[in-house]
A and B are shown apart, each in its own frame.
Chain A
Amino acid sequence: MAPVVDGLEAEYSGKVGVRDINANLDETAAKFDIQAVPTYVFLDSSGRQIEQFAGGDPEKLREGFRKASGV
C-alpha cells in the first residue's frame, strides 16, 4: 500500500498531510485502538477523526483523501 499512499500524498499535496506511525512503538496507536495494520485514520483540520479503517483498499483510501480534503 505504500505506493498508493505515496501517490495520493503527492496528488493531495498541500491539502492532506500524511503522518506515518509505527503501531508497535508509538502510544498513539492505543488512542485509536489499532488492532491491525495497516490502519488508516483521517483527521480533519481541527484534529477530529473523520474516518478510520483497516486493510489495504486503494478505493477506500482514495475516498478518505477526497473526504479529508473537502473535495
Chain B
Amino acid sequence: MICPHCNAETSDMMNVCELCGEPLNNGVSQPYVEAAPGDATAQVHGLPDGAAPSEWPPSDAGLPPAGTVRPSGKTRRVSGAGRPWYLSPWPYLVGIAIVAAVAASLLLLRPKAKAYPELLVNNQPTLLNFYTDT
C-alpha cells in the first residue's frame, strides 16, 4: 500500500509506515482500537472482559483518553523483510568497493617496462644501434 504521509510503498500488514514511521490510517490497519462508549476499560475484540493487552496504559492523567489503546512501538521502524534493497546504501557501497578493488588490482598487476639505465649515453635518451660485421 501507499503511505499517505510519504507516498512510499510499504507493507499493509503493519500499523505504521516502514519508511517514515507514521501510522497508516486506512481501513485495514487502525493504529488505535476504539473502546466501547461509556466503558471505563476498553473492549478489545478477542479478549475477555477486563483483560487488557500488555500495551494497556495505566489510567493516569496525562495519558490518552480512556478507551483507547496505543499500540507500542508506534514510531519504531521496521527493518529487514519487506524493505526494498535499493533503498539501502549498502548495495551501492559494496558495488563501488568491488569496482575500486578491480581497478586497483589492474593497476598493480600491469607489467612495468624494464629499464636499462646502464645502456644510456651520458644519461640522455639513447639509440641502441644493433649491427653485425658480416
Contacts and interface: CB of A to CB of B under 8 A. Distances in A.
A binds B: yes
Interface of A: 5, 9, 14-24, 28-29, 31-32, 34, 37-50, 64-65, 68-70
A46 B124 contact: no
A27 B23 CA distance: 84
Contacts of B119: 19, 28, 43, 47
Nearest to B124: A17
B86 interface: no
Given A45-B120, A46-B115, A48-B115, A69 B131 contact: no
Contacts of B124: 14-17, 45
Interface residues of B, number: 22
A50 B116 CA distance: 11
A48 B126 CA distance: 10
A71 to B, nearest CB: 11
Contacts of B115: 46-48
B38 interface: no
Given A47-B115, A47-B116, A49-B113, A18 B121 contact: yes
A17 B116 contact: no
Q: Which of B115, B116, B121 has the most CB of A within 10 A?
A: B116
B128 interface: yes
